[in-house]
Amino acid sequence: MLVTAHTGRENALRSARLVTRRLTEAGIAVRTIAGENSGPGAEEVPASAEAAEGAELVIVLGGDGSLLRAAELSRPAQVPLIGVNLGHVGFLAEAEPDGLADLVERAVARQYTVEERMTVDVTVRSNGSAIATGWALNEATVEKAARERVIDVITEVDGRPLSRWGCDGVVCSTPTGSTAYAFSAGGPVVWPEVEALLMVPISAHALFAPPMMVSPQSVLAVELIAGHETSGAVLWCDGRRKVDLLLARLQGPGPAGFTDRLVAKFGLPVAGWRGRTWEDTGKHA
């Protein structure tokens, strides 16, 4: 098993040493991330895509940020994560500090079930060409780069324009991330079992800018409109991985008809939209 902890919290490091000791005493081979000082009896490995390769479980001691960091290690190896909340809110963690001993016992006995969570695939495009790709467990967020200015965006669903906003940004969230940035921006809490994607504007200067919930197969896109009153923008994946961008798209197929109908019924402003239709491309964006 791979044990990782928030290195800035002494209680997390103490807990990691305790977990390492109890696992090794139970005959479980343990890995820890180099520099985390998780005590004797564990193999130290670099914080790389190979860190969790071949492990049965990744145990995370810390808050939600620690678990999102650990997801970068576990995802390449398709190894499940389990967290102990030693932070503040800790929506992603399975156990609280007083349940640490029970968590270790259950992990040793393999008394746990694996729950699949949605992630979003992200593509950044400039002039139609993909210039970067990524993924997120919680959310992919397009945000303004300069505090004193807004960004002008057109949002799209399934290759069709939805609305144009001046705003601080747009959050594209999974159900897992609905209790994080999307919630702070006014989005709904979505149970993890619900298959959906959220698109939530951040401080939009518009009469029609509600949070939207769409199919998990849909393509959500945020297209930046250049102008002298707008600032540059950045893409954040889970608040950890940053890309300076011109256009960000979340991958996935889906029908376009409902988006067109929504625009028509509400008279939404989409002037300036430059996105390609399915008829133009013959394929999904």
Among 187, 202, 188, residue whose Cα is nearest residue 153: 202
Active site residue 64: yes
> Which residues share a beta bridge with 210?
none
Q: Which of 64, 152, 168, 238 is catalytic?
A: 64
Under 8 Å between Cβ of 148 and 174? no
Under 8 Å between Cβ of 270 and 233? no
Structure tokens at 190: 């979505």
Q: Calculate ∠ Cα 90-143-156, nearest 5°.
A: 105
Contacts of 260 (CB under 8 A, 6+ apart): 160
Would you name the residues annotated as active-site residues? 64
